[in-house]
Amino acid sequence: MLQAELRATDDFRSAQDIHAALRQQGETVGLATVYRTLQTLVDAGEADQVQTDAGEAVYRLCSPTHHHHLVCRQCGRTAEIEGPAVERWASKVAEEHGFVDVRHTVELFGLCASCSRAS
């Protein structure tokens, strides 16, 4: 049920928004269960979690390959992006400092074209 709700959009959504949508559909799931399930999906690599500018955690299903996100600060529209330059930089910095098996996340926040035109 929760994964089906996440599949309904490509945008990042808060646990509260997902919970409200599920309740509106007649599901009797609790908010704590939504949070636990989302964390399980994140831990399994099936969902992405990012922090908004306001510090709120938001979630979406993700593709199985390594990627980054471009997120609209206003409407939440999201694009998965590849960043070969970021990958090279991360490897170089890790090597310079003697680190191995390094993981990273990169999220870029801005205004999408629609929100930019509206403001």
Domain spans, the chain: 2-118
- Per residue in 97-114, pLDDT (tens digit) is 999 988 888 888 899 999
Residue range 58-117, pLDDT digits in tens: 998 887 778 888 888 888 888 888 888 888 999 999 999 999 988 888 888 899 999 999
Q: What is the CATH number assigned to the segment(s) 2-118?
A: 1.10.10.10
Strands 57-61 and 13-14: antiparallel
pTM of the predicted model, to two decimals?
A: 0.71
Task: Give 4-56 pLDDT, tens digit per residue.
Answer: 899 888 788 999 999 999 999 999 999 999 999 999 999 988 898 988 878 88
Compute CA distances 83 → 46, 69, 70, 86, 106, whole Å: 20, 10, 11, 5, 9
